[in-house]
Structure 1
Amino acid sequence: MHHTSREGRLAAALVEAADTLTETFDTGDYLRRLSDHCVELLSARAAGIMLIDGGRAVSLAGSGCREEVALELLEAQRGGGPCLESYGSGRPVPPVSISVAHAAARWPEFTERALHHGIVATFAVPVRRGDVLLGALNVFVPTPPNGASESGRSELVVAQALADAVALGLENHRAYAQSRCLAGQLQEALSSRVRIEQAKGMLAERWQVGTDEAFIALRGHARRRRIPLDHVARAVVEGGVIDVVPRPSP
């Protein structure tokens, strides 16, 4: 569906941000797409998202438009910048003039690189889910800051809405991945138990002994060979190699 109004495009971006419950989810691609939406909605030069853990950047993603510039500007914030400042305070960093910040020696490495790329102003908002801070969204604009105006405040609101949606999407995918992993572990445990029971039954029938005696022999063989019990049971059940387990002595 083609959305022409800003509201429509924002709604589409928020829906896309929520679509993370898939097996093919890729964090880098996801963050790039949301950075692209940010550039389009805010008429920005570039945008990027920095995920932070323990005060250290663990993932960087820039908008496809001028991606190299966005990534370079995010990298330049290792020693300080709007992303780390927003993450540290949990609040937005309102539009800042790059030249003014550079003259005041605020974020010197970052502002130097921003001036080199013709970035006039920047602002950042935290990527957060409730009280949990995941990082920050940084927007680089080619016009002087006007954060006190209605349009300037509107840009911060839009950017924060996108950042909140990103945090929700990432947290939902994390929970989804954990539940899928747990389900897989439970299924494997169940399948392992079924194979062991089948192997016990096959050995008991072959040797004409009780299932408890067959299990003791199965377990003893696994321990002597230092092989997981399930691997031995699989060899018996799927390979039909009953003689892989020596028959217990009378």
Structure 2
Amino acid sequence: MHQVTREIRLAEALVESADTLTDGFEAAHYLPRVADHCVELLTARAAGFMLIDKADAVSLAASGAQRELALDLLEAQHGGGPCLDSYSSGLPVEPVSIRAARAAGRWPAFTERALAHDIGTTFAVPVRRHERLLGALNVFLTTLPVDDSPDAGIDVQLAQLIADCAALGLQNHTTYVRCRTLSGQLQQALSSRVRIEQAKGMLAERWNTVADHAFLALRQYARRRRLPLDRVAQAVIDRVADDAELRWEARRAQG
């Protein structure tokens, strides 16, 4: 029953991690929630994300559970730590005893801080989408690692699943925003074109001339006054544009 319950919680976590195709998405709220799932599923003390962009800028996000502890341990890795090792290699950093790492001189600043927080074990997995590395997910536990324990390997696999799904969610939202922005730009361009065509038709009918003649008047009027053509067209549609000035521009355009 316990295993079934854990599988259900994992499925729920993965579904929530992938649910990013929404206008209300905020990474600052999304990543801590994903880290909370990691803490719950792995019975960890805390967990957190370290994301690194192409300019090497680092952003941190921690689980709600022991948030300050997780942020402190992530910040302590500026000189080296499991997150940076996992990000650099693109591979998981397997569960390691903090005391053993400290004795070996591995990550001195990080291990000292971890021991101060009574962390016994840590591991990290890369946050990646195909070949693109986004950062790493770090898990902190109070217990010590057990050599050759199958549970340790499963925990790393579960964390990697969550990290992979988070990477997918982040990339999907980026694509979603890009598509929405492009769609908005295309809709704006189409609406602008419709207004210009409507204004051309109104002037052509009013002046009993061809549409091209009316368009030249609109364009010259807009250029001379340094106004967007779409704005001038809307003024014509709203019947607030100076018709005499437009006619004068039309005569100048005709020579």
TM more than 0.5: yes
**Number of residue equivalences:** 247
1:206 and 2:206 are equivalent in the alignment: yes
Tell me, what secondary structure is at the counterpart of 1:50?
A: strand
- Aligned position for 1:43: 43
State the TM-score, normalizing by the size of structure 1.
0.92
User: In structure 2, what is the Cα distance between the partners aligned to 1:41 and 1:57?
Assistant: 30
The residue aligned with 2:16 is: 16
Letter in 2 for 1:116: A
Deviation at 1:179, TM superposition (A): 1.3
The alignment status of 1:242 with 2:234, answered yes or no, reads no
**Which piece of structure 1 moves more, 149-158 or 93-102?**
93-102
Higher mean C-alpha deviation, range 221-230 or range 124-133: 221-230
Output one character per residue of 1:3-51: Cα deviation in whole Å (capped at 9) or x when no partner. Answer: 9711110011011111111111111111111000000001111000111
Q: Whole-Å Cα distance in 2 between the matches of residues 67 and 56 of structure 1? A: 23
Residue identity over aligned pairs, in percent, reads: 63
Cα offset for 1:140? 0.6
Which residue does the alignment assign to 2:193?
A: 193
1:246 counterpart SS class: helix
Instruction: Pick which of 40-49 and 175-184 moved more.
Output: 175-184
Q: What CA deviation, in whole Å up to 9, does each residue of 1:171-219 have, x standing for no partner? A: 1111111111111111111001001111111222233322111111111
Cα displacement (A) at 1:242: 2.9
Give the number of the structure whose alpha-carbon radius of gyration is greater.
2
1:150 aligns with 2:150: yes
Indicate the RMSD between aligned Cα atoms, in angstroms.
1.8
What TM-score does the superposition give when structure 2 sets the normalisation length?
A: 0.91
CA distance in 2, matches of 1:209, 1:99: 88
Aligned-partner Cα distance in 1 for 2:30–2:15? 13
Q: Which residue of 1 aligns with 2:109?
A: 109
Which of the two has greater helix per residue?
A: 2
**Equivalent AA in structure 1 for residue 5 of structure 2:** S
Does the aligned pair in 2 maintain the 1:203–1:242 contact within 8 Å? no
Q: Which runs of 5+ in 2 are unaligned?
A: none
Contact between 2:102 and 2:111, CA under 8 Å: does it hold in 1?
A: yes
